[in-house]
Amino acid sequence: MPKGNPKDEYLDASANQRQFMTMRFAQLTVFLAISGFLVNILFSDSIVLPRYSEVVLKASGLFVALLFWVHQERTMAYWNHFVERAAELEKELEFNQYRTRPTAGLISSFKAMRAFFAIIVLFWITTFFWI
């Protein structure tokens, strides 16, 4: 069986990491739209909701936040995988795009997204007690 071409795999890994980065921001847009809709209904002065509807909206907000957080984590894991694979292939190909990328440092986009979702989850949890 013939050995694969490292450059072809490198190009695939690069395309895959771009696709997962795009997906991260697309899913964030969808999440913000859904969350905004739920918050708007829940806090609207012009809409009077029965108590059970408020509970359902709060639970839905919490569920959506947790669901998208898990999705974001999985998307980040795939993105990391493809970047790391491309960096491995660069050794063989003598490329330096991924191997020499800046380190994340103290604050990375991954940590920022985790903090973002943690705050949103805490917000929805607090709505059960204070609103």
pLDDT tens-digit series, residues 26-69: 999 999 999 999 999 999 989 889 999 999 999 999 999 999 99
Instruction: Answer yes or no: is 13 within a domain.
Output: yes
Instruction: Answer yes or no: is 60 within a domain.
Output: yes
Instruction: Answer yes or no: is 45 within a domain.
Output: yes
How many Cα atoms are found within 13 Å in the side-chain-facing hemisphere of 86? 22
Written as six digits, the tokens of 115 are: 């903090």
Can you give the pLDDT at residue 3? Answer: 81
Range of the domain at 11: 6-130
Instruction: Answer yes or no: is 1 within a domain.
Output: no
Can you give the pLDDT at residue 2? Answer: 59
**CB-count exposure of residue 1 (10 Å: 0-12, 13-18, 19+):** exposed
Average pLDDT, the chain: 95
Can you give the pLDDT at residue 1? Answer: 47
List the single range of 2-6, 79-83, 97-101 with lowest mean pLDDT: 2-6
Tally of structural domains, the chain: 1
Can you give the pLDDT at residue 66? Answer: 98
Taking residues 117-126, report their average pLDDT: 98
Instruction: Answer yes or no: is 108 within a domain.
Output: yes
Residue 131 has pLDDT above 80, yes or no: no
| Dihedral sign (CA 22, 27, 28, 33) | positive
Instruction: Answer yes or no: is 105 within a domain.
Output: yes
**CB-count exposure of residue 12 (10 Å: 0-12, 13-18, 19+):** middle
